[in-house]
Amino acid sequence: MCGIAGYLGLAPDPDLLERMGRAQAHRGPDGDGIFVDGPVGLSHRRLSVIDLDAGAQPMTTADGRYTIVYNGEVYNHAELGAELTDLGHQVRTRCDTEVVLEAFAEWGADAFDRFNGMFALAVWDAATQTLTLARDHFGIKPLHVTRTASGAWLFASEIPALLATGLVPAAPDDTTVYRYLRHRVHDDGRPTFFAGVERLLPAEVVTISPTGVERRNFSTLRDDLTRTRPAEHGTDDETVRDFRARFTDAVALRLRSDVPVGTSLSGGLDSSAVVVTIDRLLHERDGDAGRGDAGRGDAGPRTDHVTAAVGPRQSTFSAVFPGYRNDEESYVDDAVASCTRPIAAHKTRPTSDELRRDLLDFVRTQQEPVISTGPYAQYRVMRDASCAVTVMLDGQGADELLAGYVPQLVVHLRSLVRTHRWAALPALWSSRDVVGHLLATRPNPLRRRRTGVTALLAPRFTASHREDGYRVEGDDLRSRLVHDLYVGSLPALLRYEDRNTMRFSIEGRVPFLDPNLVRAVFALPDDAVIHHGWNKRILRDSMTGRLPASIRLRRNKIGFTTPQHDWFREQSDLLRDVLTSASFAGRPYFDQPAVLAAFERWVEGSDDFDSMVFWRLVNVELWLREFIDPATDPEVTTMAATPGVTAPVPAH
């Protein structure tokens, strides 16, 4: 896992490339390099994971034509390398970078759809003077682009690397800020919170040549998923076995590593499924040892690499919150107890005081506002994990793939009522606990109309964006799942994970987002996803006998989050300091008197607003201080002058 950056259209400038690299050095503490060729410059920071002694970048083909900087892991690189060797290419190392480069030399941008993994890359073609940028099928790895006033292109894994050039003015994108404050959305398209800075979309390839700029998708995966319309019913034991085998394949592929691998365990179904699947792979590998074969999981790939990557015992890392309502420690313990082999279970116990201490580093880490303090739990887990492992697997993507969110269940139920009428009653009855909890916790609609978040925003700001809306699919489950995979949910979660892992020089891997697995799930009958009001039916069934009922049949989804509501009451003085500050008062976004009145009512127990609203206000203010307000050095963001807040010493 690495950090990449570069330019096209500038005079040769090695110093600029060095600045870009330093701005994201945490992404690659194991090596660095630059490449300059006429109008193009490439920068790379390396985190060594595969073939530690080879794979330095930028990397150039033997004929000198193609040069690459690459961030990611292509898990099927060994298979692709064998295919390329048969086609006459010389693959001299075990690193996937060389395979990715040779694949591009052979197939051009069509190579990207062959990759099973995560990647963001830039390839310079010296013969045609063409720069190709691309991002993986789901946008797991980030890539940002912008143009300078002179028309030159800049790109980087992280936005601070663009700012470090001094060629990109740090200014907020007001529409993105509004959509975040008003609709609670972000990362749902190309725009970022920084004016003029865009992200490549999932599966997007951008080609910049002397003849112009072309943007297109290299894969039809999203369209294929949208068009897939399988039968409503038909899930049986064979279907479950096939899913379990495919999921095992996806996990086993992501255990290919020359450095230690651990697992992020929240106690929920998804991460617990990853943990017990690794446990089963280790068990089966040990059982096959000495029999002369490679050992296999459920019809999975070769697993002789599994023990080497995981070590003598699997390491799990969890955030728990003793004494709070959303504590999941008992589920974490149940998942660990269900494994057949010893587990090194690490637990971190964040507190509101620690959030206060870490807050500004967390804001810097994420680089753009986040929807809640939930990602701070992941931040803490990754900080602790960095002392023991370099790679972490987790369950990200399963909710979007298998309807893990309550709104997706509501879409399904609404569709059943519309198409089947009275026949939908059994599903409605089975879902009564989930739907009842949703209705019980939803704010009073009359009160919400009177006290919507726009009441806390500056009237001129809201008036200038009154035409901006946000609509999600509300009638068709399959369309909603595709929307959440590519727009509504997953892009933001993947950004959180990338920044939190790379802040501590960890590579995060997400087996549920294996493209082959995703295609297979969308081809399953509808009742494999939701059956009689139970979501994730195929995953739940596949974990029978592997996970206890306490996890396999859980309905109360929590995930990696924090007890934010309680924490904010404990740290109300911190929030008050931010909201009463002169800088907050001077922003064009907020109505400070209205915000302060609402906040004091909330502190006293009012439910007109929840903690999520106040977090968004505070997060925007702290982000503006860190990234937008004037700084003396474009490479260094200043510490916001918030009383009681300090930043920890970086781990690397």
Residues tagged in the binding site annotation for L-glutamine: 96
Q: Give the C-alpha separation, 542 to 272, whole Å.
A: 12
Residue list, annotated binding site: 96
| Paired tokens of 536 | 């994730």
DSSP secondary structure letters along 570-582 = HTHHHHHHHHTSH
Q: How far is 319 from 95, CA to CA, in rounded Å?
A: 33
Q: How many helices (H) and strands (E) does the chain have?
A: 28, 19
Phi-psi domain of 183 (left: phi exceeds 0; alpha: psi -120 through 50; beta: other): alpha
Q: Is 631 helix (H, G, I), strand (E, B) or coil?
A: coil
260 three-class SS: coil
Within 8 A by CB and 6+ apart from 277, the residues are: 247, 248, 251, 297, 546
φ/ψ bin of 365: left (φ > 0), alpha (ψ from -120 to 50), beta (otherwise):
alpha
Separation of alpha carbons 79 and 73, rounded Å: 14
State how far the Cα of 638 lies from the Cα of 333, in Å rounded to an integer: 41
Instruction: Specify the DSSP element, H or E, that contains 132.
Output: strand 130-135
Confirm if 101 and 120 have CB atoms less than 8 A apart: no
Residue 2 known to be catalytic: yes
Structure tokens at 374: 């939930």
d(CA 19, CA 163): 10
Q: Which of 2, 95, 339, 387 is catalytic?
A: 2
Euclidean distance between CA atoms 512 and 288, whole angstroms: 26
Distance of CA 574 to the CA centre of its chain: 28
127, 11 contact by CB (below 8 A):
no
Residues designated catalytic: 2
